Structure 1
Amino acid sequence: MDPLEGEASSVSVEYEPVSVKEILIEMKDTAELLIDLSYSAVLHRNEDLAREVLRLEERMDVLELKGRMSLMMAVRNPGDAEQLAPVLGIVTAADDISDAAGDIAKIVLEEMGLPEAMRAALPEATETLVRGVVDVDSAHAGRTLEEIDLESETGVRVIALRRGDDWLLNPGPETTIEPEDVAFLRGPDPAIEGVYESLTGDTYELPVVDAPDVADLERAVDTIVHMKNLSELAVDLAYSSVLFDSENLAEEVRNLEVEVDALESRFEAWTLRAAADAEDPISLRGLIRLGSSTEVISDAAVDITEGVLRDLDVHPVVQLAVQESDEIITSVEVEAGSELDGTAVTGGVPDAESTMSVIAIRRPGDGWLLVGDSDVELQAGDVLISKGTRTAGEAFDALSAA
């Protein structure tokens, strides 16, 4: 048994007065980071990243227990119970996402195996995420993120820091990078290499892989990548549905979950067919685990929307938590003549001076457009659901105005 797994059940948790809002913020940020870390661990077959996932999974277990305790203490009458029941569903869903991410990480730690085709496909599906230990001699050590200004100069963002057993999931401009911090960086491949070297003193090398040579296996890998993208989109839209109390968005989450279920069925069939032609069929075990865990994430997204779908008045604390989390979700309308009017969006990334990622568009007369798997040109009147940093969100809002 991995030592990290053994520690999870031994953590003692006692009730203490804590803010439900702060717990929800941390659970949401942790769940999103877990998805990123787990798939990156698989992509790079990186045991260090996989172990970070298990550390975070243990942290999530504690957060879930604290959240349940706080919610139980907050219920004083039937009205409280009605408003807080959906909150409990959100807490449980975040923990389900955490468990699924832990199962994905164990593909690496338990050496279940994955075909090379998996690594060949994922670079096109994910932004690069790397883990590195800050060198004592790094020029960035002892400086704040505002002073370093990595995101503006390189497009690379420090999405989290681990300092011993403490996690900084929401590093802001005033956050100081200290020597020996474990830093998690996300950004485009060309820039990641230079930033990683300047922080750690080590060289980062992108993985080199062979193209898949089994037709059914290639289809299976393409399908799992599509499932991953849809599941991540479902989680984003689920939190958006709560933030904006949007039944339309919640219905889109349900539609996405149905699509992921159908994809998983086809994925399993293609994987089994590929096993007959693969040189090492055992190497497909990890792919099967990846498929089932990805489907769990989409199921959890539907659970987040339960209060909206059932027309329950979700407690305001949930909307506050979504607004104040690490990667905020915003809604802006494109005005005629603005910088966004007529701008192309490719894979969710607008051709504009912004690091916000467009995840969905509500277009008058056309309903909701899910941006992740298609290219689109923005039009006046479009309502954009986007995510990114708070600073990027403010700039994006300015771009939408004429």
Structure 2
Amino acid sequence: MYPEDVAYEPVSVKAVLAEMKDTAELLIDLSYSAVLLGSDEIAREVLALEERMDILQLQARMSLLMAARSPEDAEELAPVLGVVGAAEKISNAAGDIAKVVIEDMGLPDAIRSALPEATEILVRVPVAVDSPYHGHSLGDLNLETETGVRVIAIRREQATGKRRWITNPDHESVLRSGDILLLRGPETGLAEVYERASGNPYEPIEPPEAPIDDLERAVDSIVLMKNMSELAVDLAYGAVLFDSEGVAEEVAELEAEVDALKSRFEAWTLRAAARVEDPIALRGLMHLAVSTEVISDAALEISEGVLHGLAAHPVVAAAVKESDEVIVRLTVTPGSDLAGTTIGDQMVQTETGMRIIAVRRGGEGSDWVVQPGPTTELRAGDVIVAKGTRAGTTRLGELAGDQPDAGE
């Protein structure tokens, strides 16, 4: 099967960049889920999305070249090409991660033991012709409230035979028979939704026994590198949207930490190689580490212009603002529900659908807290950067006592 031909056609650069952002973030999620679940099906979805990203980046590059009519235009648009290139690198890295599964490069069973206990799992499920979900919108079905399961993407075959991806579908998205749903949620809820969508029973993943110590440390390092790389991508887009050098500096710190983790990972993997029957079975882990580092490097490229004092082109900020998952900045006001409490106390993500990805402390110093958790305390004057659904921004603003700043 050969890639489809791509010819120049007038497109909205803003719309293409927004789709590239959403696709890149989905690719990261899916590729690691394919590895942790050992799923060839999810890995093949990654490769299909990677093909879509190839088309998007070509469309973006052609449109930007057509827009550059003077040296001044070239100077303004060069950073936009950098963002396009970084998103493409993320896509390629995700594809390489998926190939670890599809090509059976060698992954120890220990990688599956990295699945966090009692947390959410990602599965792929087709919607059957006789499914009760056919013809109903996600708002009608209310899956997340009823089961804790959310549909993070829908792949739909069009009449032309081409595939259409709907990333981060909303309450108005209608499910149809033949759709492929990517679901995320707790295992108990997934079993119910999977059966109602496909008509087949859900078969849970059984994690293996704990691995040897060095290999367990290596796997833990991979998971931590993955989490840091995902966060770096989120913060990189936030740095561009808010033209924040402080956020961009945090991206650089995360990239450096991923590099350090990769070095420790290599040491633990080499030690483990002497204690496993077949060291070749660890080859896939090495590929994972390399690809994960590429993702963190790409995040740094996205925010590099901000680090060098270059204002982001308005089209990039507009694309981030209009993507399916929005990034907002809010100030915690005195007397608000968030002031003097913790993220966990207010159940921010459950109540609003928004995930707080960074907190800048108010007052002197203005230190950033990245990867805040349930026990992170929020104080009056803190600035929070959060990511999630458009509908959740209003509710989060109410809790913070502030109106969402989406980079206007």
Equivalent residue in structure 2 for 1:83, among 76, 81, 85: 76
Q: Secondary structure at the match of 2:115?
A: helix
The one-letter code sitting in structure 1 at the alignment partner of 2:141 is: I
Q: Secondary structure at the match of 2:359?
A: strand
Asked whether 1:19 is paired with 2:12, we answer yes
Asked whether 1:395 is paired with 2:395, we answer yes
Distance 1:27 1:200, change over 3 A: same
Distance 1:341 1:257, change over 3 A: same
Q: Secondary structure at the match of 1:175?
A: coil
Per-residue CA deviations over 1:320-364 (Å, capped at 9, x if unaligned) read 111111111111112222222233235x97476222111110012
Q: CA deviation at 1:222?
A: 1.0
Alignment of 1:1-400 (within 5 A): 6-7=1-2, 10-124=3-117, 127-164=120-157, 165-345=163-343, 350=348, 353-364=351-362, 365=364, 366-371=366-371, 375-400=375-400
Q: CA deviation at 1:226?
A: 0.8
CA distance in 2, matches of 1:126, 1:232: 17
Per-residue CA deviations over 1:189-241 (Å, capped at 9, x if unaligned) read 33222222222222223311223331111111111111111100000000000
- CA-based RMSD of the aligned residues comes to 2.0
Conserved 8 A contact 1:29-1:327:
yes
Question: What TM-score results when the alignment is normalised by the length of structure 1?
Answer: 0.93
The one-letter code sitting in structure 1 at the alignment partner of 2:243 is: D
CA distance in 2, matches of 1:371, 1:44: 24
CA distance in 2, matches of 1:11, 1:317: 27
Q: CA deviation at 1:380?
A: 1.7
CA distance in 1, matches of 2:28, 2:349: 26
The one-letter code sitting in structure 2 at the alignment partner of 1:334 is: V
The one-letter code sitting in structure 2 at the alignment partner of 1:399 is: L
Q: Secondary structure at the match of 2:352?
A: coil
Gaps of 5+ in 1: 1-5
Question: What TM-score results when the alignment is normalised by the length of structure 2?
Answer: 0.92
CA distance in 2, matches of 1:32, 1:258: 21
CA distance in 1, matches of 2:182, 2:358: 27
Length, aligned pairs only: 395
Q: Secondary structure at the match of 1:129?
A: strand
Distance 1:221 1:55, change over 3 A: same
Aligned identity (percent) is 58
Conserved 8 A contact 1:229-1:372:
no
The one-letter code sitting in structure 2 at the alignment partner of 1:98 is: S
CA distance in 1, matches of 2:71, 2:130: 58
Conserved 8 A contact 1:125-1:229:
no
Q: Secondary structure at the match of 1:194?
A: helix
Conserved 8 A contact 2:342-2:374:
no
